[in-house]
Amino acid sequence: MSESGIHKREDVTRLVEAGVHAMLIGESLIRAQDIGVKIRELLGDESNKEKP
């Protein structure tokens, strides 16, 4: 279980490669302009990437 510092797809990828199966993602979702877009970004769907 990982619960801190997950802000971009690379963070998710690094944790999955290390064997992590669950992540608590809060701050990056709360700060996102569009939560759905942010979730898709974290899951690897960059076709609808959030604008800065």
Range of the domain at 35: 9-47
pLDDT above 70 (res 49): no
pTM: 0.73
Q: Is 41 inside a domain boundary? A: yes
Number of domains in the chain: 1
Among residues 22, 30, 25, the alpha carbon closest in space to that of 8 is found at 25
Residue 4: its pLDDT value, please? 78
The 10s digit of each residue's pLDDT in 1-42 is 777 789 999 999 999 999 999 999 989 999 999 999 999 999
Residue 3 inside a domain? The answer is no
Report CA-CA distances (Å) from 10 to 1, 13, 30, 48. Answer: 17, 5, 19, 17
Are residues 28 and 19 in contact, defined by beta-carbon separation less than 8 angstroms?
Answer: no
* Residue 46 per-residue DSSP state: G
Q: What is the DSSP letter of 50?
A: P
